[in-house]
Amino acid sequence: MRLFPSLALASLAAGFVVHERDTCIIFPESLTHDGEAVDDAPSIHEAFERCGKNGKVIFEKGHVFNVNSVMNTTGLENCDVSLRGELRFSTDVDYWLANSYSVVFQKQSTAWLFGGENVTFRAEEGGWYNGNGQTWYTQNRNQSNQPGRPISITFYDSKNLHVDGLSIIQPQFWATFVWASQNVSLTNFYVNATSDDEWGTVNTDGYDSWNSRDLLVENWVVQNQDDCIAVKGNTTNLLVRNVTCHWNFGMAIGSVGQYEDMPDYVEDITFEDVRCYNCMEAALIKTWQGIPEGHSSNGNGGGGGSGYVKNVQFRNFEVENTALPIQISQCIYTENGQNCNTSKMAISDITYSNIKGTSRYNIGSSIYCSDVHPCPGIKFENVELDSVNSTLDLPLYGTTLQDEVFQCTNIIDQEQSGIPCNRKAPSNYGQAVFTNVKDDSSATEDTEDRTEESTRDPQVRPKKKPQEKLAWE
């Protein structure tokens, strides 16, 4: 096999790491193993050990780096990282389930712990992350959180960290997680989780943060079937700006309030210049109920946690064919709908401004605050939402409610809120909406049956009743 000059140099270095002064260049093991997918994690660890402090780490351009084992590259200092090739994670499900690093939250784990102080990580010249997630989507079969199913990359214990230009294709679980960090910016990201079989891409959030502050998420495109951007507990001072979401649950705060012994405080959050196309939600705040339960539809038990969500701005949103554009729910995972008015999470000072576009059904918002903590300071400013059918001058089927529905419960000073409340919000209204709100009393109390169709749902196509025409057909 012919070796190029740089490759010949690499062959002289142990573990395929070329170390020159403060720079470590990584080459893949496959170059001397006839293309075999030999694990490059040891070489990657070696490079960060040698050059992770006051140095540079470069994944050489144009190569595939096979990651067959977990990686912990934390404790970096004054380090610049350049990813110029493909990081390809193995599909050995049994290995990852048994070996992924715990991230504590919800008993979840990660394939890669990355972090430090004064660190940059740039994907350049075609560099990207391949999670080989299809194996996980098929294996998980639309189930909820699975212990050991790894988050693609967790930015941990970091300060002054900047990550730019990274594409994460087919993430195994959540694409990114920011944990126990301060002053972290993630810019110019692309995340795509798309299944090629009958199983969906559940739990492939684009971004999540927990116990972190002073954060920036800017210039992202995310296509998946879970949260586009999600804010977990004890996240403070986060700006999310210029994000486009496809087929997912948009901007989410939560879930919070899951653990009795772990209060959640979320404060000073701004989402602005957001586009949601064919989403299930656009702007969502979700908390657990106030009484603990041993199991939930999300796979974890919980509830009873205290804390607050306050000073949140959702502004300049363009929504198109979104099932439920705006929601506050304080009983997000309770399967039986009991104890939904007991949440200990206080929600206040939430502003929705310049939110415009189309809802998939006849509902623009559902805002439910618990009896324990009615919500002050909830405001609509220049919110203009109409159903797709209404904009096409088509009737809404299966309901006598032809005007947009705005559901409200326990909003303090509701008359001054700017919200055109015209219906009571049920305490157990779910995240996934598949039908119009009906004009009958049972619809305000019982929201479990969402099987009747109305407009065309691009994600779950309903069966058509006789003599009934669906929009978009």
Instruction: Answer yes or no: is 223 within a domain.
Output: yes
> In the prediction, which pLDDT does 469 show?
28
Number of domains observed in the structure of the chain: 1
> In the prediction, which pLDDT does 297 show?
65
* Residue 1 pLDDT exceeds 70: no
> In the prediction, which pLDDT does 295 show?
65
Which has more pLDDT, 330 or 335? 330
Tens-digit pLDDT profile for residues 15-47: 589 999 999 999 999 998 988 999 999 999 999
The pLDDT > 70 percentage for the chain reads 88
- From the list 441, 435, 409, 433, the residue with the least C-alpha distance to 422 is 409
> What residue numbers bound the domain in which 439 lies?
54-445
Report d(CA 362, CA 317) in Å as an integer. Answer: 18
Whether 457 sits among the annotated catalytic residues: the reply is: no
Helices (H) and strands (E) in the chain, counts: 6, 30
Mean pLDDT of 384-393: 96
Instruction: Answer yes or no: is 19 within a domain.
Output: no
> In the prediction, which pLDDT does 335 show?
54
> In the prediction, which pLDDT does 334 show?
65
Count of CB atoms within 10 A of residue 14's CB? 9
Rounded (to 5) percent helix, strand, coil in the chain = 10, 45, 45
Report the chain's mean pLDDT, rounded to a whole number: 89
Tens-digit pLDDT profile for residues 201-255: 999 999 999 999 999 999 999 999 999 999 999 999 999 999 999 999 999 999 9
Instruction: Answer yes or no: is 420 within a domain.
Output: yes
* Residue 387 pLDDT exceeds 80: yes
Here the CATH number for the domain that contains residue 320 is 2.160.20.10
Which has more pLDDT, 403 or 301? 403
Tens-digit pLDDT profile for residues 447-472: 333 323 333 333 333 333 322 222 32
> In the prediction, which pLDDT does 57 show?
98
> In the prediction, which pLDDT does 440 show?
65
Among candidate residues 80, 208, 226, 457, the one labeled active-site is: 226
Which has more pLDDT, 301 or 375? 375
- From the list 167, 164, 148, 78, the residue with the least C-alpha distance to 116 is 78
Instruction: Answer yes or no: is 27 within a domain.
Output: no
Mean pLDDT of 176-205: 97
* Token code pair at residue 316: 């300049």
> In the prediction, which pLDDT does 338 show?
78
Mean pLDDT of 135-155: 94
Quote the Cα angle for 260-266-267, to 5°. 150
Tens-digit pLDDT profile for residues 346-356: 999 999 999 99
Which has more pLDDT, 102 or 9? 102
Residues 120 and 83: beta-carbon distance below 8 Å: no
